A and B are shown apart, each in its own frame.
Chain A
Amino acid sequence: MSKYKLFLLRHGEGAWNKENRFCSWVDQKLSEDGLKEAQDCGRLLKEQGYKFDLVFTSILSRSIQTAWLVLEAMGQEWVPVIKSWRLNERHYGSLIGLNRAEMAKEHGEEQVKVWRRSYDVTPPQIEESHPYFLEIYNDRRYTTCDMPKENLPRAESLKEVLDRLLPYWDSTVVPEIKQGRTVLISAHGNSCRALLKHLEGISDKDIASVTLPTGIPVLLELDENLKPVKPRQLLGDQVKIQAAIKKVEDQGKAIPST
């Protein structure tokens, strides 16, 4: 019997998504399309009559923007929003800023797939010489985390994402859900996947083939032990959902050279 409802949302398109570059911890804002995805999502949730009590986001602007636009569309701007680095997108290390298609051409689709979709293979660490190193680590927000800046990740596998997410989930999010609060987690592709893996008990192997489309709210109905009582539901128009899934999957493929 479903006792709790939890919503996960992967933010929509940022400028770099369009260019097929690993954005990760670089703080891109949403593109025009990404803004629209968030607004559409909010409208859908409003039509279906959902009421949130609490929203969690990462400290990357695109997940926060998404949450704000969703709340605005629903007339629930007053709902508290709590932000944490532990919901940040996966840290892609030295791959940050690189174009996926070029990488696939250079390293082959398989190697890129391994880096993107394996559970515990960590990409190479970001170094001080990396063009985006200072933009990330000089940012003041990383002095406000519950961990000293020097201990924050320099690269992560999906496993490492879950390692830093799970303590936050357990200590901060779970108690709210257990008090009956309807929670929305507005985050990123990999932080959402990591959480899904944990909640649904997906194996290390199977998580590779789990793709979350952008801008589509995911509803999990949970029992009193926070175990899902039914498969996750992607809310909204099914044709739109399938198109969104395909869009994400296509991003991993190399553009054929002409």
Chain B
Amino acid sequence: MAAYKLVLIRHGESCWNQENRFCGWFDADLSDTGEHEAKRGGQALKDAGYEFDICYTSVLKRAIRTLWFVLDSIDQMWLPVHRTWRLNERHYGGLTGLNKAETAAIHGEAQVKIWRRSFDIPPPSMDEGHDFYQTISKDRRYSDLTEDQLPSCESLKDTIARALPFWNEEIVPQIKEGKRVLIAAHGNSLRGIVKHLEGMSEEAIMELNLPTGIPIVYELDKNLKPLGPMQFLGDEETVKKAMEAVAAQGKAKK
């Protein structure tokens, strides 16, 4: 018997996804497709009659706007929303802004493969000379972060390490108070939560690509252990496609 239900939603396509550029902490907006994905996700939650008590998101607009579309769809715009840098996407450091071809050209295919397959090797850091250093590292929204907290790059391990304290200290107590939680965030910050909930290995979480714009539902016991695999919400077609895509990931050659 489920003690709690948790809903996660990964934002959809951003303008930089369209251009195949490493986005990370760059505050790219949703593309038209991404907006559509968010509305569709909201509609799925509305059709299923979901009610929430509290929402969490990052400080990046693509996640926040996704949440706003959802709250509008389910008519719960009045819910409290907490924004935190700890739910931000992984920081891609010096790769931020590069497209996949440029990255391979600059660093070589072999190095790119290492970064993609590694849990704990970070990309090169974003230094002061980087095109996006000012707009990201010096952004007002990060002014409260200490020097230790503000990343210049992150491995997946780093991302998870700064996301989980927020999960444990802020989100878990709310769930245990019976608050129904909605988290709208990014592929890698959500991977941190999923890895933790399901006790997944480093290899397994690196294989998992969460579907975008589709509400992901976990039923949890009183110790916050999932009672079963994650469920997707949506029309039959959308859900089926998402499940197949996830199942196929583990088998894909890299």
Contacts and interface: CB of A to CB of B under 8 A. Distances in A.
Interface of A: 51, 59-61, 64-65, 68, 72, 75, 77-78, 80-83, 140-141, 144
A248 to B, nearest CB: 24
Contacts of A77: 61, 64-65
Q: Could you say which of A51, A60, A68, A75 has the most chain B C-beta atoms within 10 Å of its C-beta? A: A68
B49 to A, nearest CB: 12
Contacts of A75: 27, 61
Nearest to A53: B140
Interface string B20-41: 0000000100000000000000
B83 A78 contact: yes
Interface stretch (B73-81, B97-105, B235-243): B73-81
29 contacts: A51-B140, A60-B78, A61-B75, A61-B77, A61-B78, A64-B77, A64-B78, A65-B72, A65-B77, A72-B61, A72-B65, A75-B27, A75-B61, A77-B61, A77-B64, A77-B65, A78-B59, A78-B60, A78-B61, A78-B64, A78-B83, A78-B141, A80-B82, A80-B83, A81-B81, A82-B80, A83-B78, A140-B51, A144-B53
A68 B68 contact: yes
Given A64-B77, A78-B141, A80-B82, 6 more contacts: A51-B140, A60-B78, A65-B72, A78-B64, A141-B78, A144-B53
A117 to B, nearest CB: 28
Contacts of B82: 80
Give the top 8 A-B pairs by smallest Cβ distance, nearest first: A78-B59, A59-B78, A77-B61, A77-B64, A64-B77, A141-B78, A78-B141, A61-B77
A55 B190 CA distance: 27
B135 to A, nearest CB: 11
B61 A83 contact: no
Contacts of A65: 72, 77
A177 to B, nearest CB: 18
A32 B58 CA distance: 29
Nearest to B54: A144
A65 B72 CA distance: 9
A33 to B, nearest CB: 18
B239 to A, nearest CB: 27
Contacts of A141: 78
Interface string B46-58: 0000010100000
B50 to A, nearest CB: 12
B16 to A, nearest CB: 15
Contacts of B77: 61, 64-65
Contacts of B80: 82-83
Nearest to A83: B78
A140 B49 CA distance: 14
A64 B53 CA distance: 16
Interface in B138-191: 140-141
A19 B75 CA distance: 23
Nearest to A68: B68
A59 B81 CA distance: 12
A144 B60 CA distance: 27
A219 B82 CA distance: 27
Contacts of B72: 65
Interface in B75-94: 75, 77-78, 80-83
A59 B72 CA distance: 13
B181 to A, nearest CB: 15
Interface in B102-157: 140-141
B102 to A, nearest CB: 26
Contacts of B78: 59-61, 64, 83, 141
A15 B129 CA distance: 51
A208 B174 CA distance: 45
B142 to A, nearest CB: 10
Nearest to A67: B77
A52 to B, nearest CB: 10
